Amino acid sequence: MALTPVPVALRALLGSVPAPTAPETLPLAQCAGRVLAEDVMALRTQPPFANSAMDGYAVRADDLLPANELLVIGESAAGRAFAGRLEPGQAVRIFTGAPMPDGADTILIQENADGVGSTTIRVRESAPKGKFVRPAGLDFRKGDVLLGAGRRLDSAALGLAAAMGHPTLHVRRKPLVAILATGDELVLPGEPVGPDQIVASNSFSLAALVEQAGATALDLGIARDNYPDLATKIERARTAGADVLITLGGASVGEHDLVQEALKRQGMELGFWKIAMRPGKPMMTGLLGPMVVVGLPGNPVSSIVCGHLFVLPLIEALQGMPSADRDRSEPAILGCDMPANDEREDYLRAELVLTEAGWQVTPFEKQDSSMLGTLARADALAIRPAFAEPAKKHAPCRIIRLR
Ligand SMILES: Nc1nc2c(c(=O)[nH]1)N[C@H]1C(S)=C(S)[C@@H](COP(=O)(O)OP(=O)(O)OC[C@H]3O[C@@H](n4cnc5c(N)ncnc54)[C@H](O)[C@@H]3O)O[C@H]1N2
Ligand code: MOO
């Protein structure tokens, strides 16, 4: 079978998502990190009235001649407006956020007035008409749509939704991602490790990755390399209603690589298998009923790199984010010479340095896909396209930032 290029595989995977997860209504305080299921319209105008941006005096700009004296006739504070009307020659003591009194058009900040606190003030320095006045609707008006469906609710978006008057929001249910490690050799961290055993790490790294992307991880533990155990644990993912099943390991071509066959026996429709990338070549995708299956290679670095390239966009697509298929790479320059590349696109663990010419990326010398220490040190993946010619230090390249 020919190797599938990364963008082809990614498009196919995102295209296989049956539908975004169902919407649910949550109180605002529980919406951080969730994705909006519908557009959000302002239920009110902000600010609802013209107000002062500074502490000082509400005045008429026409009265702001240096040394002019103004009679202070009252006070407007936030939550306690001045009820009367300002006439020529008058001022109203005002504080930040307080409503502008009728008849006033400008704020004289108290630093530019003499006699602050007394019944008469003297203009020290003039100000143009409208200075430090926030007109009603400066931020938004009732009916404005300020947050679109598919927007992830970061702190600014949540603050805005609150200011628009929404106590609850319609957001996508968190995708449920079942994670199944496979392998006779695996033991959990902290368990006794036999001479031919390996500590399982991939479930932890993938769970962290999917949770950062807004999903809930469901750890199915470790399936041993036999069909009955694999079948039981795959079944558990289906019963739990997982939107995605990530399998780890057993993806390659050896006699103990049973995962694909186990999934097919349960009815999985294979999407693709084997991608033109390094690491991550044996990755597989499929659909088992409505559940999207992603079979990741067992090598720890391969599984995490595939997680960044495929699983993160998949989880965004499941949350209805329209930008899920965006190009996540950024420009950089090489920090060293690079040899020609073969038919697999390379994702090299690398460190970044910010230079006058932008990010300079230098791949680590050792790139084995078992080396988690190197991956944890890496700032980015340096991308070397398939069949790339040799490249010189400072040549342009693309990177994907890891943190
Ligand atoms: N003849 C060939 N051999 C291999 C090929 C190939 O094309 N022809 N591909 C290689 C590539 S590339 C990769 S990547 C690996 C991936 O194979 P598997 O997905 O079958 O992975 P395993 O054999 O199950 O495990 C590989 C390695 O990773 C360790 N592992 C597995 N699961 C975990 C886990 N949960 N946590 C930590 N470490 C794990 C496992 O012990 C092995 O050491 O295949 C190549 N072979
Ligand atoms: O592609 Mo494998 O993921 O080289 O190690």
The answer as to whether 205 is a domain residue is yes
Domain-ending residue, one of 296, 318, 340: 318
Least confident of 81-95, 247-261, 350-364, 372-386: 247-261
Q: How far apart are CA 340 and CA 372, in angstroms?
A: 25
Instruction: Give the tens place of pLDDT for each residue, 250-285.
Output: 888 777 789 999 999 999 999 999 999 999 999 999
Total number of domains in the chain: 4
CATH number at residue 37: 3.90.105.10
Q: Point out the domain boundary residue: 172, 193, 218.
A: 172
In this structure, are 178 and 166 located in the same domain?
A: no
Same domain, 235 and 352: no
The structure's pTM equals 0.94
The yes-or-no verdict on residue 147 having pLDDT over 90 is yes
Q: How far is the CA of 370 from the centre of ligand 1 (A)?
A: 9
- Banded model confidence at residue 360, pLDDT cuts 50, 70, 90: very high
Share of the chain above pLDDT 70, in %: 100
Residue count of the chain: 403
The whole-number pLDDT of residue 253 equals 78
Section 49-62 average pLDDT: 98
Q: Within 6 Å (CB) of ligand 1, which residues are found?
A: 181, 183, 185-186, 198, 200-203, 248-253, 257, 279, 281-282, 297-300, 302, 369
CB of 278 shorter than 6 A to ligand 2: yes
Q: Tell whether the model's pLDDT for residue 166 goes beyond 90.
A: yes
Whether 239 and 302 share a structural domain: yes
Q: Which ligand does the CA of 297 lie closest to? A: 1
Question: What mean pLDDT comes out for the span 163-167?
Answer: 98
**CA-closest residue to ligand 2 atom 4:** 279
The Å distance, Cα 197 to ligand 1 centre, comes to: 14
Band (pLDDT 50/70/90 cuts) for residue 187 is very high
Residue 347's alpha-carbon distances to 176, 182, 246, 366, in angstroms, are: 28, 24, 21, 13
Give me the DSSP letters along 146-215. EE-TT-B--HHHHHHHHHTT-SEEEEEPPPEEEEEEE-TTEE-TTS---TT-EE--HHHHHHHHHHHTTP
Which tokens hold the place of 25? 């209504």
Residue 1 lies in a domain: no
Say yes or no: CB of residue 302 within 6 Å of ligand 2: yes
Assess whether the C-beta atom of 313 lies below 6 angstroms from ligand 2: no
Residue whose CA is at the smallest distance from ligand 1 atom 8: 253
350 shares its domain with 292 = no
pLDDT value of residue 96: 97
Residue 325 lies in a domain: no
For the domain that residue 196 is a member of, what is the CATH number?
Answer: 3.40.980.10
Same domain? For 65 and 122 the reply is yes
**Are both 165 and 287 inside the same structural domain?**
no
Do 181 and 211 share a domain, yes or no? Answer: yes
CATH number at residue 55: 2.170.190.11
In terms of Cβ atoms closer than 10 Å to its own Cβ (0-12, 13-18, 19+), residue 378 is buried
Q: Are residues 228 and 301 in the same domain?
A: yes
Number of the ligand 2 atom closest to the C-alpha atom of 280:
3
The tens digit of pLDDT for each residue in 223-252 reads 999 999 999 999 999 999 999 999 999 888
pLDDT tens digits for range 118-145: 999 999 999 999 999 999 999 999 999 9
Structure tokens at 201: 């790490």
97 and 193 both lie in a single domain: no
**Domain boundary residue, one of 290, 318, 346:** 318
Domain of residue 360, residue span: 330-401
Residue to probe by mutation, ligand 1, list 187, 198, 299, 345, most atoms within 8 Å of CB: 299
Is residue 57 scored above 80 in pLDDT?
A: yes
Nearest CA-CA partner of 349 in 334, 327, 364, 329 = 364
Predicted pLDDT of residue 255:
78
Please work out whether the CB of residue 299 comes within 6 Å of at least one atom of ligand 2: yes
Ligand 2 test: best mutation among 273, 369, 372, 374, most atoms within 8 Å of CB?
A: 369
Do 272 and 366 lie in one domain? The reply is: no
219 and 262 together in one domain: yes
